[in-house]
Structure formats: structure tokens, C-alpha cells
Chain A
Amino acid sequence: MNARRRSWLVEAGFSLAMLAYPRAFRRRFGGEMKDDFRQSPVGTLRTVRTLGTLSLNGLAERWSAIVRWSFFPNFTPHLYASSGRHFMFWDSFRADLRYAIRQAIQAPLYTALAIVALALGIGANSAIFTVVQGVLLKPLPYQDPGQLVMVWSHNTKEGKPENPISPANFVDLRDESGGFAALQGYYSFVGNTQIVIDGPPEIAVTSVVTPGMFALLGRTAMLGRTLVTGDPAGLVVLSEGYWQRRFGGDPNIVTRQVTLDGQPATVIGVMPPDFVFPYKGMLGPTGFTRNITVDAWTAMELSGPRMTDASGRFVRNVHYLAAVGRLKPGTSVEQARAGLAAIAARLEQAYPDTNAGWTTTVAPLHDQVVGGVRPALIILLAGVAVILLMACVNVANLVLARSVSRQKELAVRAALGASRWRMIQQALTESLLLATAGAVVGLLVVRWGVQGLVALAPANLPRLQEVAPDGTVLLVTLGLALVTGVFVGVMPALFAGRADVRHALQEGGRGAIGSRARHQLRSALVIAEIALAVVLTVGAGLLLRSFTSVMMIDPGFKPDNLLTLQMSIPYRLTTADARRVYYAQLFERLESLPGVTSTGGTTRIPLGSTNVTTSVQVQGQDVPVSALPEVEFRRAMHDYFETMGIPLRRGRGFTASDGAAALPVVIINEAMARRIFGQQDPIGQHIRTGPNPTGPWSTVIGVIGDIRHAGLEAEPAPELYVNYLQNPPVNPFIAIRTTTDPAALADLVRAEAKSFDPTLAIYDIRTMQQIRSESVAERRFLLLLIGAFGVLALLLSAIGVYGVMALVVSERTQEVGVRLALGAAPAEVLGMIVRQAATLAGLGAGAGLVLAALLAPMMASQLFRVPAMDPITFVLVPILLVGVATIAALVPGRRAMRIEPVRAMNPQ
């Protein structure tokens, strides 16, 4: 029987797999195995499997050979006995390892310093990587998440690519889209829902989804069932967290009856703990909600007054839905995008009144969820990598300093015949041992660091609860240790390999020979270190400058001495009259509290809530429905503007006389006045909201100053306020202006509300300063970390400079002694040392500036009102660095001043 020849690819694969085996084994059995392999059955999958098993077996054989050779060299005569040379590597490795451990123990301080530096560097990197992995890399907790895309409406007139979808457009997109296996919708916001379980009403955060959403996401319940297509309203699925927290993990939760927003509902299931829907990034575009951890999901019914108009047709001009689609296998995002755009174009033709200028946006779901934080996390990753580099440079410096004291030993080894490669191998073994120890300690840093990061990170960072170290992180840590070990080892090792035997042995006190190269190397390391520190500190400086410019923005109201809360009034207050009376009494009670100067309320609190918009018609301006401008819509309650400190620019504010029976009136902000009325006087103009041809006209009675609603950095948008007396809300935010610390008043306010009405649900009590601070949490998080990296970088570079200058002083003791003996002033000596340090620092700072200038544009997305090449930062940072380096050089410099000439010249 003749062995078949396989294709060259398979043969190459076989040879590659055989490399896994020890050489002796390969020589002995390789030929036979090759013949066998050629005779074995053909088939791609089978071949791949065979090669896989072959190489795994090879590695196992190699490992057992190492173990046997290292620990039982004479136990049995074996295959490898005669080819000992092959194992020279492992033999010497064992010796090197023993030697390295002995060395490490002999110099505990040096070892501890090196391990701590590496542990911090490696650990910090792995910790940040853990966050990046959990947030950016891990697939979303849905089945085949790569097929999922987010669908928005795109309002081209207003330039809003991620606008919610109207019910009618959603139904059309769903029914006509060809590229999707399924398209399901949900409310583009999560809502606070009043839930009655067994006592007074409470608040649960709910998401309303089309019942087929769970099947589309490919997730099932851990208890009971999910919603399925065709389910009616009145069914509720709980999150695992809410089920544990509120129901104590009751195993009989399914079929439990509760009341949701006054309607009876049945619990049908509990989702697994890792299920999250929707993510923050999947909510509507404007504004943000404080709490988006959903407690429960309820079914959306595509019917009823919210969905359909008086004639029973789906509403096309009110946008509040978002949609997730699952692509058919083989359909690309591009194809799906084109498909939906074609439908949107048809709808534009068919319904020009409502759809002109509207198209669709399709984005991969993963991008939608994490896209916003990607730049910040990438910057963090880059920053922490710089820290590791600096730690490496520092340890390399340490190793180098130590190699000075070990120069003789190395020279002896070389004289005894150690090859250059053997010396490098020895040095590498040592640095790898250090790095491995650093990595092991670093794992502790990872553990605590990740906990710290998660605690420190803004609560609205997407997927934060999914961050946890795992196998990948372990692998990355080990990989980092390997790279670090080689990096740290190579430079001193190269130097060790260059040690000059004769001179080192002859040398007496000072390191004349080899020290020149060593100095250059160490100086280069310090320059590199300072350059890296400049890069990090410039980054931190730019972020700090951006942060302060954000915090200096005037939000348009006075956030000091302001307490806010949200409430949900009881369902028994079904009529507007009942609510008016209720609110009037409540505001009176709150204003009677000591320390309260005024109160008010609104339906959307700035910087801390979502947003809602409406289109506006102006009497006398004849515009088609599709061209009506969109403005933000709120109700003002009681003394809202006065309480918030929002200035009235023109006209008057709301008064009690603007009540239910009075003519409808509105107040607008300056942005709206500019946008709608231009140069005209807005006071006395008549407008009405929505494309509502029959509604009553409202009179504009006042203009207030602009406020920042969606965030401090977001430009003020046109706003329209109506008086709450003309339609009292049920879920308002309340603002209370105080004369003292508002936080101290929280308990009093809560108690007063409870005594006023025990069934009144009050939640989210926060001071306005707190809301303002939380609205910049992401920016602060990035600043804190990069700032910490910057401080660490300064410290590391100071240590580096100190180390080098200390060495310089100790090596130049003789020379300095001579100078002093010849009459040099001690101050001159100090100046000489400090000048040398400053020169190094200056070179490093120069290189760092160039590097920083190249890298700064990467941070553009995180900067605010600060150019990437901000002159202040670029001037101050190098001065700071040179200053730090100079101070670090003072200590060795002072030592040089005190050198006694006589001692210095007679070292022995």
C-alpha cells in the first residue's frame, strides 16, 4: 500500500503540529507518524481535528518530558536520556530560576520595589482592560447579538438622526421591511410606574415593549414565561433584581396580582439576572433619566388613544417609539439601511403632511449601546498603557542600577566561559520572574481596582453591572507580564551581554569602563520616562481645563440652595379639579416649612430628566404640517421660575388668575422667541401645540431666559411652558428653594409629605447641585482616572530622575572630591548636578511635547471649549515636569555638596 500524498497545505500543517513534540520524540517517531497520517482518512474537518489532537498530544509529551528531565532525570532510562543536549535549555533554565530567586531574596527592597511597580502597572492595565472588555467587547446578552440593529426615525429638517418613531411609521416599517427576520418596538423611554403590591403605591421603572420583543432578542424567562406576540395588556414580566429586592425572591411569584398605574396586572415571569433591556443608549435622544435599571416589562398594545387618532388610524405625527430589528442571515446592515430608507421614501410620498423630511437610521445594536463611551474608554486604555510603559522603564532602571553592583559577578561569569546568550538568558529569567510575581500581585490590584472603578464610574455608564474579571482578563494579565518581562529584561540584558571582562575585573573604585554606555542608556530611559509623563499630564491637563469650562457654564438657573424631588400623586385624584386642590394644599404645606422660601414644579427637571417635544403652529403663519417647528414642552407649577431662579426677560409670569377657566396662556424662552418670532415681539402672539386644526389658541404672555436642559454642554433649545392649572400633571418634579443647606431639609420634606398624604409616592430626592454634578459624571470619571495616572506619572518620573542622579553622584564622588579640594564652591557642585537633571528633564519634556501634540487630537471628543493644542496646558506641563525633576535632583545634589574631599579621593 502506497501512502497518498496530501496537499502541501495539509503536509505543512502536519509538520507544524509535529513541532509541538520534543525533538527526540520527533526524530524517533516522526517518520512513522507521517506515514500513518498519509494513510488516515481524508476530510477537511477530520484533518483539522487530527492535527489539533496531534499538537495537543505533542505539548503534553513536551511537558511530561520537561517534568521528567527536570525532576526525575535518572528515574528510568528514557527516550530523552541520550539526547540531553536538547534539554540543556531547561536544565540551565532551572539553574537560572534558582539563581534568580536567590538574588531576589538577597535584595528584598529592590525586589519589593520592582514587584510593586510592575504589579501596579500590570494590575492597572488589566483592571482598565476588564472594564473595556465588559463594556465594549463582551457581546450583548442577547442571542446572536451581531444580527441585531437599532432603528430610529431620522428627522432631516431638525438634523436629529436618532429621533423616535411614530406608531404608524413603526407599523409600516415592520410590515414592509424585507431584510428583517423580525422588527419589534418599545417606548423610547422608561417610565416611573405606580405599582401597588400590598400597601401604599410605590414606583417601579418599567419598559413597555411589543410582546414579541423577547422572542426577537432570543431570551427566555428564568421563572414563568416572557411576553409573547398576541399577549394582551395587563401582563407583567419582572427583572431578577426587582423580584429579589421587592418580592424577596418569592418562588410563587408567577400569577401574582398587582396594580400597575391603577390597572390590575398579573406577573407572568422573571427574567434572568444578566438580561438588560433597554440599555441607556437605546433610549430617546434628548435628555436622560437618572435610573434606567428596568424593574418590569409590560406589553405594548398597538391600539388605544395613544396609538390611534379619533378615526382609529395609527398616529403618524407623534414620535415616541424605538425599534430593534433582527437581520435575516446574510443581510448586511447596509442592505437593511437601504431597505428601510426605501420604505421611508415611499411614506414621504404617501404622507407628505407628516413624513416629509423623515427617513430612517439603522445602526448595529452594539454600537448604539456602547458607542458613546468608546472614545473615553480608549483614552483610558491608552493612558494606562503609558503607565505600564513608565513602570517598565523604572524597573529597567532599577535592574540597570543593580547590574552596576553585580558587574564583577557578571564579568566573572563571562570569564568562566558564559556565552553572551547565556548571560542574556539569565537576565531575562530574572526579569520574567519579577514580571510574573508582579502579575500575580497585580491580580489583586485587578480585583480591587475593578471594584473601585465600578464604584467610581458614573452609574449611567452602559453595561457597568456586566463588568467582572474573567478568563480573558487573566490571559491578558499573563500576556502583559510576558511582554513586560521581556521589555524590562532586554535592555539591561543587552548591557550585561556587553560587559567587558578584563576591565570590570581590574576596575577599582569607579566605573570608568562600560559606565559610559550605561549612563547613556539610563539617561535615555529617564528622558523617555519624562516624555511619557508629559504626554499623560498634558492629557490630564486638557481634561481638567475642559471640566472646569463645563462647570463654569451658567445653566440658566441658580442651582444652589435648591432641593428637588419627584412625586406620583394617588390615582384617586382622577379629575383636574381634585388635583388642583391637592397641589395647592401641598405647595402651601411645603412653603410653611422652616427654611423654605418658595416652591414650584415642572414636568421635566433640567439636567435630570428626559425630554418631550411638540410641534407648534403660530396664528397667521401658514406652514404645512410637516414643516411645523418642534419645541420642548413643559408645564410650570406654582412659583416654578422664581424658585429655580430662571429670570423673566419680558412680559409676565403665570399667576393664579391663569387658571382652568381663564384663557389659555403660555410662556416661552428666548431661544423659542428667536426661532419662531425672529425680530417680532412675541408677547401677545397666539400659538397652538401639535398639528391640531381645531384646538384653542394660546397667548404668549412672557419670555424667560434660556436654560440648559439636556446637559451643561448642550445648547439651550426652544422651550414652551404652559400653566399647570390648565392641566395638572400626575408625575411632576418639585423644586424647593431653601435658605440653608438643601440636603439637610430632605428628611423634613419627606416627613411633611407623608403627614400630608401617606399614599403620596415621593422619590429621587436630590439637591440641584447633586443633579448638576451627576450630569457630568462621565467627564469627572475620565478626569479622575487620567488625573490619577498623571500624578502617578509625575511620581514615577521623579523617582527615575532621583535614581539616575544618585548614581551619577556616587560614581562621580572622586571627581567631585577633587573639584571641592581645588576650591570649587559646594553651591557650584549642587548647580552642576541640578543642571544635569534639568537638561535630561528638558530633553524629555521636549520629546513629550512632540508626542503629546501628535496624540492630543485623539482626545478631541472629550474636550470642551479647549483646543487640543491648548497653549496653557502645553506651556505649564513641561514647566511642571522640569520643576519636579529639578526637585528630585536636589537630594543627590545635596549629598554631592557634602562630599569630603579627603575621603572621596581615598576610597579604599
Chain B
Amino acid sequence: MDKFRPESFLPLTPVAFEILLALADGERHGYSILQEVERRSAGAVSLHAGTLYRALARLLESELIEELNESPDPSSADERRRYYRLTTRGIAVARAEVARLEGQLVAARTRRLLKAVRP
């Protein structure tokens, strides 16, 4: 296989990035990703199931996320649920995307499009 280059995945689609963000603090199943995205953005971003699973399919194909073989907490969860987590490649891509966005933020600040970070 070719050498893995996280930059080749950039820029991520907003949906893909939201999914990677939601998975950053641990495994989740699909519906929980939906809820997390909605909670984090305070309802501003509403992810549709159709969009979510199409994005999951692409992320799985490019091995940025993977599926857990078993439920992390069998006692509380519906065992039919499939859980997803970031792969090391996924983490690298997410980091690269964050760096890219950060670069844009810095550029925006120097051009006074955005206020400086408050202390």
C-alpha cells in the first residue's frame, strides 16, 4: 500500500469532520453520533441519518474509522448496535484538518476578520 498521507484527505467535508470530532472522546454508535453533533453545536448543526451513514461508509472505506467487534458496555447498550471508533489514521487526518483550520483562523485574525482570543 502507498505511504499514508493525511493531507490527501483534506479538506474534510463538514459532516466527516463532525463525525471524527464526535468520536474523538471514545466509541459511539450511529445514533449517539447524531445526538452528540446536535448537542455540541447546540442544535445549529442537524445531521440527517441518510447523510451520516453515507459519510460513515466513506470513512470506513478509507479506514479513518473502524467498527468495534463488540459493544464496549454490554450491560447498558442494545447489543445490536454497532460501535465506531477512530483509527490511528483517523486521528492523524483529524489532527491535520484541525491544523488546516487553525491556519485559517490565524489568517482570519491577522486580517481582523475575527477578534483575538480573549485571555
Contact = CB atoms under 8 A, between A and B. Distances in A.
Contacts of A1: 78
A759 interface: no
B54 A77 contact: no
Contact of B50 (A57, A77, A78): A57
Given A36-B31, A39-B31, A61-B54, A79 B60 contact: yes
B56 interface: yes
A76 B61 contact: yes
A40 B80 CA distance: 17
B109 interface: no
A29 B53 contact: yes
B61 A77 contact: yes
Interface string B52-76: 0110110011100000000000000
A78 B62 CA distance: 8
B114 interface: no
B49 A36 contact: yes
Interface stretch (A48-56, A822-830, A874-882): A48-56
B31 A79 contact: no
A848 interface: no
Nearest to B1: A77
Nearest to A57: B50
A864 interface: no
Nearest to A20: B50
Interface in A1-49: 1, 3, 25, 28-29, 31-33, 35-37, 39-40
Interface string B17-54: 00000000000011100100000000000001111011
Q: Which DSSP category, helix, strand, loop or mixed, fits chain A's interface?
A: helix
A58 interface: yes
Given A39-B31, A53-B48, A57-B48, A33 B53 contact: yes
A52 to B, nearest CB: 10
Contacts of B62: 76
A57 B55 CA distance: 11
Given A28-B57, A77-B61, A79-B60, A50 B49 contact: yes
A60 interface: yes
Contacts of B31: 32, 35-36, 39
Given A32-B81, A35-B81, A54 B49 contact: yes
Interface in A40-98: 40, 50, 53-54, 56-58, 60-61, 76-79
Interface centre among B31, B60, B78 (most CB of A within 10 A): B31
B53 A35 contact: no
Given A60-B54, A61-B54, A33 B49 contact: yes
A64 to B, nearest CB: 8
B82 interface: yes
A29 B60 CA distance: 12
A35, A40, A56 — most chain B CB neighbours (10 Å): A35
Nearest to A17: B50
A53 B57 contact: no
A611 B19 CA distance: 77
A43 to B, nearest CB: 14
A56 B50 contact: yes
- Chain A contact-residue range equals 20 to 34
Contacts of B30: 29, 32-33, 36
Nearest to A39: B31
Given A76-B61, A77-B61, A79-B61, A35 B78 contact: yes
B6 to A, nearest CB: 16
B61 to A, nearest CB: 4
A132 B53 CA distance: 45
B29 A58 contact: no
A810 B53 CA distance: 62
B73 to A, nearest CB: 14
* Residue from A1, A36, A39, A57 having most chain B Cβ neighbours under 10 A: A36
A128 B19 CA distance: 53
A554 to B, nearest CB: 73
A57 B54 contact: yes
Contact of A35 (B50, B61, B80): B80
Contacts of A53: 48, 50-51
A315 to B, nearest CB: 66
B92 to A, nearest CB: 17
A126 to B, nearest CB: 35
B62 to A, nearest CB: 7
Given A40-B49, A57-B50, A32 B57 contact: no
Contact of A32 (B29, B48, B54): B29
Contacts of A76: 61-62
Contacts of B48: 50, 53-54, 57
B80 A31 contact: yes
A29 B81 contact: no
A816 to B, nearest CB: 66
A31 B48 CA distance: 16
Contacts of A60: 54
User: What are the nearest 5 A-B pairs in CB distance?
Assistant: A57-B50, A29-B53, A78-B61, A36-B31, A54-B50
Given A36-B31, A77-B61, 7 more contacts: A32-B53, A50-B48, A54-B48, A57-B50, A57-B51, A61-B54, A78-B61
Interface of B: 29-31, 34, 48-51, 53-54, 56-57, 60-62, 78, 80-82
Interface of A: 1, 3, 25, 28-29, 31-33, 35-37, 39-40, 50, 53-54, 56-58, 60-61, 76-79
30 contacts: A1-B78, A3-B78, A28-B57, A29-B30, A29-B56, A32-B30, A32-B31, A32-B81, A32-B82, A33-B30, A33-B50, A33-B53, A36-B30, A36-B49, A37-B49, A40-B49, A50-B48, A50-B49, A53-B48, A53-B50, A53-B51, A54-B48, A54-B49, A57-B48, A57-B50, A57-B51, A58-B50, A61-B57, A76-B62, A79-B61
